[in-house]
Amino acid sequence: MIYTLTMNPAIDYVVTVPDLLKGRVNRGESRGFSAAGKGLNVSLALKRLGVESYALCTCGEIEREKGNLTETFLQLLQSSGIRSGLFNIKGSDTRINVKVHSGGEVTEINGDFYVPEEDSADIAETIIRMVKKGDFFIIGGSLPNGIPCDFYANLTENLAEKGAKVFVDTSGEPLRRVIQTGKAFLVKPNRHELAELFGLNSEAISTPEDAVTYGAKLGCNALVSLGEAGAVFVNGNDGEEYVYAAENKIKNAYTVGAGDALLAGFVETFIKTTDYETSLKSAVKFAESSLVLKS
């Protein structure tokens, strides 16, 4: 079984504005809504690859006389067609993120979501009971407010002890804590997140060679996404490394969501082949096919 976990899901409101003018009225050319979050995005990408997964995520539970964001989120999640299991958080409403596409750039305005710390213990306990030896468990995205930064690390340790392969795509201190456990099967930072781990400028890791150098220092399998440049895989056990660049250099594209497609493509091929190099090559090709061209 493949599970994905999204602790901080959202409704993504995506709008395209020809020329965004600060402090002025802007009219969008197109818009769309979707149930989003890294784990959910990976499940959606796996679905496109014909692979079934079970998407676990938190969900607001708040009573109002009229509709709320959670109702909209549930409708969007159901329409996505992926199997899902929800952890209902009483007193919290699902957040909304706004993504504005304009002038070849994406401007994001992300909302907040709160999960009480006591709820996180119940969530972890439920997951640990559910997952079995040989399962693949993919953790994606940031932690919501209220959850301790070692939540992913503790969950990774417990699931690894049960014999599950744990893949982690997060950033900052939660990622650092996961790496320190030495129990993650694979972590997937992008080049900016990898630089942050080492206290470097966000642009310090700009080449595959840089990614290999620092990825090898993590002490675990690392899949480093480089946007339009492809990706790097470093084997944390023997230092073996592979580099793949996108075959068709698509320069005029948004890379939002490509990292989720990269991870999904890697997992889909690794399940069939258990070969790192083949999995990386397939992952890069799938991520490349998922890029959205800029207007």
Tell me the per-residue pLDDT of 67-86, one tens digit each, with 9 for 90 and over: 577 888 989 999 999 999 99
Query: Does 273 have pLDDT greater than 50?
Result: yes
Q: Does the pLDDT value for residue 251 go beyond 70?
A: no
Mean pLDDT calculated for residue range 124-143: 97
> Which residues face 108 on adjacent strands?
99
Percent of the chain with pLDDT over 70: 93
Q: Which of 65-69, 185-189, 250-254, 261-265 has the lowest mean pLDDT?
A: 250-254
- DSSP 8-state assignment for residue 185: S
- Is the confidence at residue 64, as pLDDT, over 60? no
Residue 93 appears among annotated catalytic residues: no
Per-residue pLDDT at 247? 60
CA nearest neighbour of 160 among 142, 140, 178: 178
Q: Residues 12, 93, 260, 275: which is the catalytic one?
A: 260
For 281, phi then psi, to 5°, come to: -60, -45
229 by DSSP, 3-state: which?
Answer: helix
Question: Can you tell me the distance from the alpha carbon of 77 to that of 20, in angstroms, rounded to the nearest whole number?
Answer: 30
Give me the residue label for tokens 């796996």.
46
Residue 65 has pLDDT above 60, yes or no: no
Q: Would you state the pLDDT for residue 252? A: 45
Residue 257 has pLDDT above 90, yes or no: no
Residue 295's pLDDT is: 42
Q: Which of 25-29, 169-173, 195-199, 218-222 has the lowest mean pLDDT?
A: 25-29
pLDDT of res. 294 = 45
Amino acid identity, position 126: T
Instruction: Tell whether the model's pLDDT for residue 105 goes beyond 80.
Output: yes
Spell out the alpha helix ranges (H) of the chain.
38-48, 69-80, 117-130, 151-161, 172-181, 191-197, 208-215, 258-273, 276-289
Measured CA to CA, the distance from residue 159 to residue 94 in angstroms comes to 27
